[in-house]
Amino acid sequence: MTSKIKLAVFDMDGTIIDGRLIDALSTKFGLYDQIKQIQADSSILGYIKTQKIASLLKGLDEKEIVLALESIPIMNNYQNAISVLKENGYKIGIITDSYSIAAKTLANNYGLDFFTANDLIVNDGLVTGEVCMPLGWDKINCFCKNSVCKRYHLETHAKKYGIDIKDTVAIGDTRGDLCMVTHAGIGIAFMPKDDYINKCKNIIYRPNLSDIFYFIQ
């Protein structure tokens, strides 16, 4: 790899892990239908959906979040992709609209440099139903209106490390990743789950994170 691109950001659900944390949690606690209904309602803005879903998790033991995360397989060749990026001097992080307890676990387990995620408020070990959201679209007028504007946080981390936005890679699989993937120097749609696929030049169709190196050269 000879590129000078030096920052790589991964989405979590469906990208680093081969599944979705909220699906594992909602199946285990009988919330699947309620949560799917919120997710499918196109009249609700992204960050409001995050608040509504968090309120359904009220009373959950925070340990259940890590247990749910551990029940989901890591994506094929994630470890390999991280190792190659590290060898090439990349700063590597996770930007996800899932929960910080999960993102932090993955960041620690793989020696990543940073993560940005939604913070579920916990009191005495139990989820209160409130969520602290990083937002960011309000600052840059991003179309996404999500609880985590991935473009804003991509820019923020790049700036923190003194890396030009042209020199970043972003990898994600859903509409929630669109503002980041279309703004990064190299945006990669990984196993795309919805119709934003048409807006991405670089697409990986099989569950193998080593394939990112077809685009990062």
The binding site for Zn ion (CB under 5 A) comprises 137, 142, 144, 149, 151, 179
Rounded to a whole number of angstroms, the minimum distance from the CB of residue 33 to Zn ion is 28
Q: Which is nearer to Zn ion, 149 or 186 (CB)?
A: 149
- Smallest distance from Zn ion to CB 118, Å: 14
Q: Which is nearer to Zn ion, 46 or 192 (CB)?
A: 46
| Distance in angstroms between the alpha carbons of the first and the last residue of the chain | 5
Minimum gap (Å) between residue 45 Cβ and Zn ion:
12
50, 133 Cβ separation under 8 angstroms = yes
The three-state DSSP-derived secondary structure of 58-116 is: CCCECHHHHHHHHCCCECCCHHHHHHHHHHCCCEEEEEEEEEHHHHHHHHHHCCCCEEE
For residue 150, the minimal CB distance to Zn ion (Å) is: 6
Residues 178, 187 contacting (CB under 8 angstroms) = no
- The two three-digit tokens of residue 203, written as one number: 């697409």
Q: Compute the distance between CA of residue 117 and CA of residue 102 in angstroms, rounded to an integer.
A: 9
C-beta of 25 vs 134, nearer to Zn ion = 134
Identity of the residue, 14 or 136, whose beta carbon is nearer to Zn ion in the bound complex = 136
